[in-house]
């Protein structure tokens, strides 16, 4: 019995020491572990669960199997037309080969530092080779929409002119826009693919797989912002001036039409009034003739009295009344 105890006690001690040294470890879901034996890579464990390793001589390094994100710092880059812009990019990546990753980089902080250098360099290279419109736009749909709009305007104008209708829509009477948009050859999405291809050349041998590189934001540099605002204000002012000029022209046209209509109405009214006055004068003359014809002597007397009433108050003196004009002063009817 004593011999058995003497044999079991060292074994128990060894077992306790073995488990105390930590031979068991857990690989969680979404993780992978690189097991090194005496500094050399022995195996890579990718399945989740409870695992065992030799204590003291084997060590474990854990890495993520998930898709990770990389967010770069915005960098100021000069485009092909010598315009400075701020470019903010992001990327997704994962550890595709844990063995190569352990050999070349070993830890996550160095991995992010390496990605900073590689992706920033690729972004700077691609942006510098292309114009601003290539980085901002992804297609020529704005040009296609402009062409469709102009074709629709021309078609509507032709239909209304053919039908003899008056163009009442102001937009149909406005001239076509003079804004010319530059056609793009590749676009933002293809530039992102080129950035991905360039960066992947330097990361594939590091055990890193780049999934995508995306331009998250592009903004003008502080030097360009004011000039861009000034150009936008100038464009808006030109459009506003055009509408003001167009409105002034329409106003003059309408005022001209109004004056013409006014002259026509006044002419018609004057002609009608003169006709009525002529008829009234003729009627009055006929009535006077009919009335005064009944007693011509009274008519002559009445007219003389009317003349005296108008002229005599303006005479300061009369040297003689021996004239035919004053005959009615001396008439005596016996």
φ/ψ bin of 210: left (φ > 0), alpha (ψ from -120 to 50), beta (otherwise) = beta
Are residues 37 and 74 both part of a single domain? Answer: no
Residue 282 is assigned to a structural domain of this protein = no
Residue 246 is assigned to a structural domain of this protein: no
Assess whether 55 and 86 both reside in one domain. no
Give 89-104 pLDDT, tens digit per residue: 999 999 999 999 999 9
Domain boundary among 215, 239, 263: 239
- Predicted confidence band of residue 298 (pLDDT cuts 50, 70, 90): confident
Is residue 73 domain-resident? Answer: yes
Higher pLDDT, 117 or 329: 117
In a domain, 260, yes or no: no
Q: What is the pLDDT of residues 118-153, one digit of tens each?
A: 999 999 999 999 988 888 877 766 656 666 665 666
Q: Verify that 180 and 229 share a domain, yes or no.
A: yes
Domain boundary among 239, 255, 286: 239
- Judge if 78 and 165 occupy the same domain: yes
Q: Please state, rounded to an integer, the average pLDDT across all residues of the chain.
A: 79
- Please count the structural domains in the chain: 3
- Asked whether residue 173 carries a pLDDT value surpassing 50, the answer given is no
Query: Do residues 104 and 180 share a domain?
Result: yes
Helical ranges in the chain per DSSP H: 2-20, 98-104, 108-129, 132-136, 141-163, 170-173, 188-203, 222-292, 296-311, 327-330
CA atoms within 13 A on the CB side of 223: 8
User: Are both 197 and 234 inside the same structural domain?
Assistant: yes
The pLDDT of residue 305 is 75
Q: What confidence tens digit (pLDDT) does each residue in 140-149 have?
A: 666 566 666 6
> What is the span of the domain harbouring residue 77?
68-239
Task: Count Cβ atoms below 10 Å from residue 311 Cβ, excluding itself.
Answer: 10
Are residue 48 and residue 104 in the same domain, yes or no?
no
Examine residue 275 and state whether it is found in any structural domain, yes or no. no
Residue 111 shares a structural domain with residue 56: no
């Amino acid at each position: 019995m004593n011999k058995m105890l003497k044999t079991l006690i060292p074994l128990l001690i060894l077992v306790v020491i073995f488990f105390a040294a930590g031979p068991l470890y857990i690989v969680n879901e979404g993780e992978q572990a690189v097991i090194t034996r005496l500094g050399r890579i022995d195996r890579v464990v990718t399945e989740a669960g409870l695992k065992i390793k030799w204590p003291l001589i084997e060590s474990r390094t854990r890495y993520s199997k998930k898709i990770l994100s990389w967010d770069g710092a915005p960098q100021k880059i000069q485009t092909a037309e010598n315009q400075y812009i701020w470019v903010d990019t992001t990327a997704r990546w994962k550890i595709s080969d844990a063995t190569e990753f352990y050999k070349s980089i070993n830890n996550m902080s160095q991995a992010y530092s390496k990605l900073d250098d590689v992706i920033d360099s690729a972004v700077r290279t691609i942006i510098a080779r292309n114009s601003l419109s290539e980085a901002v736009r992804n297609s020529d749909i704005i040009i296609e929409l402009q062409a469709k709009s102009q074709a629709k305007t021309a078609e509507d104008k032709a239909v209304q002119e053919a039908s003899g209708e008056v163009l009442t829509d102001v937009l149909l009477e406005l001239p076509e826009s003079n804004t010319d948009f530059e056609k793009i050859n590749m676009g933002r999405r293809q530039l992102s693919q080129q950035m991905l291809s360039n960066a992947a050349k330097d990361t594939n041998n590091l055990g890193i797989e780049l999934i995508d590189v995306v331009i998250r934001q592009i903004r003008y540099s502080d030097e360009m912002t004011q000039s861009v605002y000034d150009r936008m204000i100038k464009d808006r002012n030109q459009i506003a001036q055009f509408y003001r000029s167009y409105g002034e022209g329409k106003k003059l046209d309408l005022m001209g039409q109004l004056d013409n209509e006014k002259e026509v109405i006044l002419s018609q009214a004057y002609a009608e009034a003169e006709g009525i006055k002529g008829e009234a004068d003729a009627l009055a003359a006929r009535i006077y003739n009919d009335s005064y014809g009944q007693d011509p002597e009274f008519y002559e007397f009445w007219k003389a009295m009317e003349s005296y009433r108008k002229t005599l108050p303006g005479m300061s003196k009369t040297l003689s009344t021996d004239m035919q004009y004053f005959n009615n002063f001396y008439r005596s009817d016996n």
